[in-house]
Amino acid sequence: MSGALRWGLKAAWFDVARCRQIWVTVGIWLVLSVGFGVGMTYALYRSAAGDPNADPALVDGLRHTFLLGEFDATAGGLMPFWGAGIALALGASVVGSQYGKRTVTLIYAAGPPRVAVLGGQLLALVGVLVVAATGALGVNALGVTAVSLVQGWPVTAPPLGATAISWAAGVLTAVAYGLVGAALAVATRSEMRALGLGLVWLLGVETVLIKVCESLGWDWLGQLTLGGAASNLAVARGAYPWWPNSLTDQVSAAQGAGAAVVLAVWATLAAASALWLIRTRDI
């Protein structure tokens, strides 16, 4: 790591550590993750278990979500639903907050290379996302354990290797979304515009695009989108066994590996685009 980049990383970490907004967002991520990932799923299980007309496969699939020994599969589905949008918001916040404070011009005009400053921010962002994604998995593991103890279900350790792979898949998904948010912040020179555009794409345009591709028989094109790749990677890890007509058996391990490559490409292109923009255009 060059001296300039090391300086940029230290400066970025200093800003991140002082920014209450970023850590409040991480806290919201943890609360939503355990609230929806555990709380809502448990409420759905209790409702289905008490309904004599409920599909037994649905009830059994929901129960398996709370078996700690199968947490490697549960962990795989946490990121696309509960973490993707927040990861994008963190990317927009870590990089775009300087635009909102009107300090970005002073920073870049002061002398440090622009690429080093932004590179340090991107590395700091990756660090925040790793911490947040790991924390989300941790609180969900605690929630799953608590439900298992209340229900009297067996509490056994999940397979370490498979859980590590699911953790890596979740971190990759978070980093891809976070770097896209950062690239949008640089492109729009605004934290809020980046967040708005990202969420419109994530919640609206991308969903419609995937559905249109499916209706035209172009499933491969939908799988190249950020959301399509993230969902395929989660399903390949065994996520959502309770979902009606579960897709788990329809996404092979090879397709999951391909989805991971697509996410890595998205992350690389987002970081490269941000660095190219900050280097070539006016402050």
Q: CA torsion 222→226→228→232, rounded to 10°?
A: 140
Report residue 188 as tokens: 């729009």
Which of the two residues, 133 and 10, has the higher pLDDT score? 133
Look at residues 29, 139, 37 and name the one whose alpha carbon lies nearest to residue 84. Answer: 29
**What length is written for the chain?**
283
CA–CA distances in Å: residue 264 to residues 66, 124, 127, 205, 260:
30, 18, 16, 21, 6
Instruction: Count Cβ atoms within 10 A of the Cβ of residue 83 and give its class: 0-12 exposed, 13-18 middle, 19 or more buried.
Output: buried
Which of the two residues, 200 and 1, has the higher pLDDT score? 200
Domain boundaries, the chain: 3-280
The share of the chain scoring above pLDDT 70, in percent, equals 87
Taking only the tens place, the pLDDT of each residue in 239-253 is 665 454 444 456 667
Query: How far, in Å, CA of 171 to CA of 177, rounded?
Result: 10
Residue 1 has pLDDT above 60, yes or no: no
CA–CA distances in Å: residue 149 to residues 40, 60, 145, 245:
18, 17, 6, 29
Using alpha carbons only, give the angle 144, 71, 65 rounded to the nearest 5 degrees.
60
Look at residues 68, 69, 70, 47 and name the one whose alpha carbon lies nearest to residue 59. Answer: 47
Q: CA torsion 73→75→79→81, rounded to 10°?
A: 70
At a CB cut-off of 8 Å and minimum separation 6, what does 29 contact? 82, 83, 86, 87, 132, 135, 136
How many CB atoms sit inside 10 A of residue 154's CB?
8
The share of the chain scoring above pLDDT 90, in percent, equals 27
Residue showing tokens 């599969």: 73
Query: How far, in Å, CA of 112 to CA of 118, rounded?
Result: 10
The pLDDT, as a whole number, for residue 205 is 87
Taking only the tens place, the pLDDT of each residue in 4-60 is 778 777 878 888 888 888 999 999 989 988 888 788 888 888 888 888 888 787 787
Residue 223 has pLDDT above 80, yes or no: yes
Q: Which long-range contacts (CB under 8 A, 24 or more apart) does 101-106 make?
A: 104/189, 104/283, 105/283
Residue 152 has pLDDT above 80, yes or no: yes
